[in-house]
Structure 1
Amino acid sequence: MHPLLQRIQQFSAAEEFLDFFGIDYQPDVVHVNRLHILKRFNQYLNRTPIPEDADEAAARETCKSLLKQAHDDFVKSNAAQEKVFKVFQDQDGKSISLDSLKASLTTRAQKA
């Protein structure tokens, strides 16, 4: 693993990643989508791995570009559309109405 990736593994907040790479970000977007942004960043890193022998500047630029792209995905879209997490992938565009949820709970309560 590249030393830069080892260093950023210590970060815990999306803002730490964004600040470290000097990326301008929209706080309201990050507040709502922080986990989605980091998950997408990880997906991008998996598709574009950084070689262990890459120099620091190249590794940093690659990470910066991929993290900015991950952030910008959620500026233009939202978590449900981007489907980063399995719960959104399983939903596949279906919505659940409040009435159907209530009916489901009533049916379950009657069976219990």
Structure 2
Amino acid sequence: MTLTHDLKELSTAEEFLDYFGIAYDPALVQVNRLHILQRFHDYLNQAPIAAEQARTVYAERLRQAYEDFVASDARTEKVFKVFRRGEPQVTVIPLSQAFSKREE
């Protein structure tokens, strides 16, 4: 079987980690599984990967994605767009201006 075929059969973060032989904390993966997989995907898209090195590079990048969440958390890592949004913008209008009478 080929790497491409094998990867098509995997669906959970745990399956990917097991496939590449990466030891992991199940509790950490349970909380961050989508973040880990998205980060893995992001790392894979950073640069082309030669076919003969694919298995090694994929394993390294998955390990890196997992380790990102061992040392940090989803809010800090900001993998998904919802975490990259800026704080809500607040406009302050002094009460003296809010209720001032407009001249006609």
Q: TM-score range by the shorter chain?
A: 0.7 to 0.9
What is the TM-score with the length of structure 1 in the denominator? 0.71
Q: Distance in 2 between matches of 1:48 and 1:66?
A: 12
**Would you say 1:73 and 2:68 are equivalent positions?**
yes
Q: Distance in 2 between matches of 1:29 and 1:77?
A: 11
Q: 1:88: which partner in 2?
A: 83
What is the TM-score with the length of structure 2 in the denominator? 0.76
**Would you say 1:14 and 2:13 are equivalent positions?**
yes
Q: Distance in 1 between matches of 2:25 and 2:36?
A: 12
Secondary structure at the counterpart of residue 23 of structure 2 = coil
Give the 3 Å change call, closer, same or farther, for CA 13–36 of structure 1 in structure 2.
same
Q: Distance in 2 between matches of 1:22 and 1:85?
A: 26
**Would you say 1:35 and 2:34 are equivalent positions?**
yes
Q: How far 1:59 moved relative to its partner? A: 1.3
Q: Distance in 2 between matches of 1:5 and 1:67?
A: 15
Q: In terms of Rg, which structure is larger? A: 2
Q: 1:104: which partner in 2?
A: none
Q: Distance in 1 between matches of 2:30 and 2:15?
A: 13
The one-letter code of the counterpart of 2:79 is: V
Q: How far 1:47 moved relative to its partner? A: 0.4
Q: Which runs of 5+ in 2 are unaligned?
A: 89-104
Aligned residues: 87
Q: Percent identity?
A: 53
